[in-house]
Amino acid sequence: MKGLTTVLRIGLATVFVVCALGLTSAIGAQQPAAPLPGQTSATSPAQPEKPPPPDVFSYNPEGRRDPFVSLLFRGGDLKPSRDSRPDGLPGMLISEIALRGILKDKTGFVAMISGPDNRTHIIRGNDKVYDGSVKAITADSVIFSQDVNDPLSLVKQREVRKYLRATQEGK
């Protein structure tokens, strides 16, 4: 039995060596021998050709959103710098306005608002602000018509309500 295992081991080792030699000779046969320096070979491969330049890429949106427009701040939500806006009520954004009170006079309702300048301003219907105008003033809220500056939006104006009391905003 001992003799048989020894013969099997020698046979397997021989098969392994023969396979290894055959594999290395096959690899060596695939790679052509490099010509010596100063010696030219008629069978040497020609210089590889340069690949053609890639086509010029251009972006075609075809109804898709602009990938460079922020998803956090869409068109109407972008705040222009304070320096580029006029002072007072015409320079206030609707998002910066806080409603402080509503009064009734002989012409209708009048609202008291405060803005980023921490001053109180009086507004009436049809007064202009930087990104819209006052549409109406009711007993408990001010309704603004805000201009939407978003090229992807189908709506060019939206209605924004500022309530006198914060509890009514959730309704």
SS (H, E, C) 86-126: CCCHHHCCHHHCEEEEEEEECCEEEEEEECCCCCEEEECCC
Choose among 104, 105, 110, 141: nearest CA to 124: 110
164 shares a domain with 89: yes
* Residues listed for the chain: 171
13 inside domain? yes
Choose among 122, 114, 117: nearest CA to 87: 117
123 inside domain? yes
11 inside domain? yes
CA distance 146 to 159: 6
Note down the domain range covering 9: 1-29
CB atoms within 10 A of CB 141: 19
Tokens for 44, please give them: 């040497």
Question: What is the CATH number for 138?
Answer: 2.30.30.830
97 shares a domain with 164: yes
157 inside domain? yes
51 inside domain? no
122 inside domain? yes
3-class SS of residue 147: strand
| pLDDT attached to residue 1 | 61
Tokens for 31, please give them: 């790679």
34 inside domain? no
CA distance 80 to 24: 72
Choose among 66, 34, 29: nearest CA to 150: 66
| pLDDT attached to residue 49 | 80
Q: Which amino acid is at 40?
A: T
| Contact between residue 121 and residue 109 where contact means Cβ atoms under 8 Å apart | no
Domain count for the chain? 2
Q: Which pLDDT band, with edges at 50, 70 and 90, does 23 fall under?
A: low
3-class SS of residue 150: coil
163 shares a domain with 89: yes
Asked whether residue 60 carries a pLDDT value surpassing 80, the answer given is no
157 shares a domain with 93: yes
92 shares a domain with 24: no
Q: Which pLDDT band, with edges at 50, 70 and 90, does 50 fall under?
A: confident
Mean pLDDT of 16-35: 62
Q: Please enumerate in sequence order all residues whose Cβ is within 8 A of that of 61, keeping only pairs 6 or more positions apart, or say none.
A: none
Mean pLDDT of 65-83: 66
16 inside domain? yes
Total-model pTM: 0.51
